[in-house]
């Protein structure tokens, strides 16, 4: 009997839950799938519970027109198996949602993951059960919607950072007679906007991708904008076969290089200061970046995200572009942001600004007077009713904590996670929470997560968790839990580095400002990917320093 069999058999003998595994993984996105692959490699039994009827996580749900990754496909992909990255062919520089979803499905098949993934299986509660006399250490019991429980010694939350749509608190939403769609929960079948009057609420990344596509199809599109946003053209293109071949020849080298970068991405990162560069040269550099496209724009100078004056220079360049592209000066003025560029996540678009030159597109500024309510015919704002056949809510997500807090997670002594996180998320290394033994969060708050390249960030977390599980198994340790002191020190460090960045100083989903009543805390860790990895590795090397092992 191997270690896996012995653990599971022992657990079954204790009669805990309907089914028992070494590891329960919640979510079959890129985190959950890789976690399953790794648990198999270390010889542990595992099951993935997924509420959707397919794999892919965020790329399963976000099927709105124009949905596309804003990180280039070469980098936004798994790196753990060179054969996989050599055989897979991305067709464009920035991959579309359907292509990324095909990739996720390819991974599920290639590593034979499906047999251990349970689809249509929504976790509605998770509780830590203290160890009884027979077992000694505790375990997790997860309750499934529709009945049944699944138990596991360890529980890994691969539930994603942007997985719970933010339904806007606008009165009367249920009264609307027409179709209502949320970008984060889009139907599987094609939505037909042809000949329809469409209203769109929101101008974040999702809206900025969807608006140009909807505008070309709908009879008329009205966009309700609360806060104008900065977006840089993607300048997307098919991948040149020769260029792709060269990348594949040195893929390993590129991945290693990416790990050394502050955000885990190979960027064209300038070492020059905007403040110390002449106006002419500065403009030339901004133009060059604009022509290349993408979020790389923010790396035009090394002080754009650190110094308000340098930031203003980059922001003013983009404002100038808006005034140049958008023909109606009044519309251009409404579209022009005046806050810090890159404070909210910088958007990447295709034909966003030019869309406002179309005759069938209108913009309504709801910054000073919010949408009053939704009525059966459409949207009431500025004292009048805008009539629509369909409404698109591009209102984002209850990011980073929303999904975990809705799962009714209870730790030691029945402590609800929502009580523990009442003042904002608290954890150690973004990986584990004191009072919630044997539970790990992949790309949780307090880790680089959304500020890094997500798939490699997931790999770093999963590798760390898998190594940890292998270590615990080898040492016969049944429980691991951060100590409060380590957690407090980590949270303080996350706060201090967050404060130093301009990014924590505006209203965005990074600080929970988009969800009324959410505690304001800069959730991701901005202290750089290599520094973060160093700290994680150091804790592991020192026998999981900062954790209590039992």
Q: Which residues bind ligand NA7 (CB under 6 A)?
A: 162, 168, 170, 183, 201-207, 224, 226-227, 345, 366, 371, 394-397, 509, 514
Report the residue number, 57 or 546, with the smaller CB distance to ligand NA7. 57
Instruction: Give the C-alpha separation, 177 to 160, whole Å.
Output: 32
Q: Minimum distance from CB of 44 to ligand NA7 (Å)?
A: 32
Contact by Cβ (8 Å): 270, 213: no
Local structure of 432: helix, strand or coil: strand
Instruction: Give the C-alpha separation, 4 to 346, whole Å.
Output: 45
Report the residue number, 160 or 478, with the smaller CB distance to ligand NA7. 160
Report the residue number, 183 or 355, with the smaller CB distance to ligand NA7. 183
Q: Minimum distance from CB of 394 to ligand NA7 (Å)?
A: 6
Angle at CA of residue 523, ends 519 and 525, nearest 5°: 160
Q: Minimum distance from CB of 227 to ligand NA7 (Å)?
A: 3
Q: Minimum distance from CB of 63 to ligand NA7 (Å)?
A: 13
Query: Which has the closest alpha carbon to 438: 117, 113, 102, 131?
Result: 131
Report the residue number, 162 or 239, with the smaller CB distance to ligand NA7. 162
A 10 A CB-CB count for 290 gives 17
| b/e sequence 302-328, b meaning 16+ C-beta within 10 Å | bbbbebeebbbbbbebbbebbeebbee
Q: Minimum distance from CB of 75 to ligand NA7 (Å)?
A: 15
Q: Minimum distance from CB of 336 to ligand NA7 (Å)?
A: 14
Query: Structure tokens of 198?
Result: 């469409």
What are residue 42's phi and psi, to 5 degrees?
-95, 10
Question: Tokens 């067709």 — which residue?
Answer: 91
Angle at CA of residue 431, ends 434 and 258, nearest 5°: 160
Measured from each CB, the residue nearest to ligand NA7 is 204
Start-end of H helices in 124-240: 205-217
Report the residue number, 363 or 394, with the smaller CB distance to ligand NA7. 394
Contact by Cβ (8 Å): 299, 267: yes
Report the residue number, 317 or 509, with the smaller CB distance to ligand NA7. 509
Angle at CA of residue 285, ends 260 and 531, nearest 5°: 15
Q: Minimum distance from CB of 367 to ligand NA7 (Å)?
A: 8
Report the residue number, 380 or 412, with the smaller CB distance to ligand NA7. 380
């Amino acid at each position: 009997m191997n270690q896996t069999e012995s653990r599971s058999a022992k657990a079954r003998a204790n009669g805990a839950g309907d089914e028992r595994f070494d590891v329960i993984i919640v979510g079959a996105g890129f985190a959950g799938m890789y976690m399953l692959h790794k648990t198999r490699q270390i010889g542990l039994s595992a099951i993935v519970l997924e509420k959707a009827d397919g794999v892919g996580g965020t790329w399963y749900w976000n099927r709105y027109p124009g949905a596309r990754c804003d990180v280039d496909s070469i980098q936004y992909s798994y790196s753990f198996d060179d054969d996989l990255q050599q055989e897979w062919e991305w067709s464009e520089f920035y991959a579309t949602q359907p292509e990324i979803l095909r990739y996720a499905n390819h991974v599920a098949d290639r590593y034979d993951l499906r047999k251990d993934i349970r689809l249509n299986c929504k976790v509605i509660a998770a509780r830590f059960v203290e160890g009884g006399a027979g077992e000694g250490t505790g375990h997790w019991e997860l309750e499934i919607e529709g009945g049944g429980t699944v138990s596991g010694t360890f529980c890994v939350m691969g539930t994603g950072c942007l997985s719970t749509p933010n339904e806007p608190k606008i009165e009367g939403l249920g009264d609307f007679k027409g179709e209502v769609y949320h970008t984060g929960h889009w139907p599987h079948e094609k939505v037909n906007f042809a000949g329809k009057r469409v209203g769109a609420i929101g101008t974040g990344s999702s809206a900025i991708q969807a608006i140009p596509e909807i505008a070309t199809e709908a009879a008329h599109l009205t966009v309700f904008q609360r806060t104008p946003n900065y977006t840089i053209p993607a300048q997307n293109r098919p991948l040149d076969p020769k260029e792709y071949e060269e990348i594949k020849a040195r893929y390993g080298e590129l991945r290693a290089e990416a790990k050394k970068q502050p955000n885990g991405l190979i960027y064209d990162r300038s070492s020059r200061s905007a403040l110390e560069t002449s106006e002419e040269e500065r403009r030339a550099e901004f133009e060059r970046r604009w022509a290349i496209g993408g979020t790389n724009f923010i790396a035009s100078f090394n002080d754009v995200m650190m110094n308000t004056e340098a930031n203003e220079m980059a922001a003013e360049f983009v404002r100038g572009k808006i005034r140049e592209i958008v023909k109606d000066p009044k519309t251009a003025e409404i579209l022009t942001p005046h806050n810090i560029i890159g404070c909210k996540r910088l958007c990447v678009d295709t034909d966003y600004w030019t869309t406002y030159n179309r005759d069938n597109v209108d913009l309504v500024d709801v910054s000073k007077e919010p949408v009053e309510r939704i009525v059966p015919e459409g949207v009431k704002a500025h004292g009048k009713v805008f009539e629509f056949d369909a409404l698109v809510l591009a209102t984002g997500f209850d990011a980073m904590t929303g999904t975990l807090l809705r799962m009714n997670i209870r730790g030691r002594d029945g402590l609800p996670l929502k009580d523990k996180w009442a003042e904002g998320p608290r954890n150690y290394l973004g990986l584990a929470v004191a009072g919630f033994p044997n539970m790990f969060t992949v790309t949780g708050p307090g880790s680089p997560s959304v500020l890094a390249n997500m798939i490699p960030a997931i790999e770093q977390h999963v590798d760390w968790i898998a190594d940890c599980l292998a270590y615990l198994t080898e040492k016969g340790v049944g429980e691991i839990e951060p100590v409060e002191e380590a957690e407090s020190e980590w949270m303080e460090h996350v706060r201090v580095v967050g404060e130093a960045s301009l990014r924590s100083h505006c209203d965005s989903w990074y600080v929970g400002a988009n969800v009324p009543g959410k505690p304001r805390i800069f959730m991701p860790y901005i202290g750089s990917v290599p520094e973060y990895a160093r700290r994680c590795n150091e804790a592991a090397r020192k026998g999981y320093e900062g954790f209590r092992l039992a």
